[in-house]
Amino acid sequence: MEKLWSTWRSHYIDGFKDHTGDEECIFCAAAEQDETSDDSLVVYKGELAFLIMNLYPYNGGHVMIVPKRHISDIKELTEEEFAEIYKIIQKTVRALDDTMKPQGYNIGANIGKVSGAGIDQHIHFHIVPRWDGDTNFMTTIGEIKVISQDLLDVKNRLQKALLER
C-alpha cells in the first residue's frame, strides 16, 4: 500500500495553543454569536447544539456540529444532546445535497489531540462534503488545498436551505 503524507496538517494542528484554562474556548464564544451576522461563522442554532462553518476547511462546505455545553468527552454527551446533534447532521446533509450536490461525505469526530483534533477541549463533529477528484496535485504535491467557495456565500446558502426544511 502506498502512503501520501499531508504534513501541512500537522502545522495546522500545532498552531493551536494547549488549553490551560486561561483562553476562551472558541466554540463557547461562537455559541453566543448571532448566526445572522456576517461576522459569525455560525450557520444554525438548536437548543443544545449548533452548526458552524470550519474556518480551515478540507473542502468547501466543511462544517462542524458542536454541543453548546463545554465538554471534551463523547461519553459526557446526554441522550438529548446526541439526538439533537444527529438531527442537525441529517438536516445539514440534506441542505448540502440541495446547495452543493456533493457525491459523498466524511462525517465524524476527532476525539483527543492524538486523533488529530485541533481543538480537543470541546467536542465537535465534522461533515466534509466530497467530490470525485477533490484531491489533486495541488493537495498532494504542492501541499496546498484550493477552496473555491467563499465561506460567507456557503453559510448563506446553507442557512437558506436549512430554513426551507
Q: Please tell me whether residue 142 adopts helix, strand or coil conformation.
A: coil
The pLDDT assigned to 14 comes to 54
The CA-atom distances, in angstroms, between 32 and each of 60, 70, 94, 104, 113 are: 24, 13, 25, 31, 25
The pLDDT assigned to 164 comes to 79
Cβ atoms of 133 and 139 within 8 Å: the answer is no
- Report d(CA 94, CA 158) in Å as an integer: 10
Domains parsed from the chain with CATH numbers: 8-163 (3.30.428.10)
The pLDDT assigned to 115 comes to 79
Residues with catalytic function: 124
- What is this structure's pTM? 0.77
The pLDDT assigned to 7 comes to 54
The pLDDT assigned to 10 comes to 54
- pLDDT < 50 stretches in the chain: 1, 3, 12-13, 16-20, 137-142
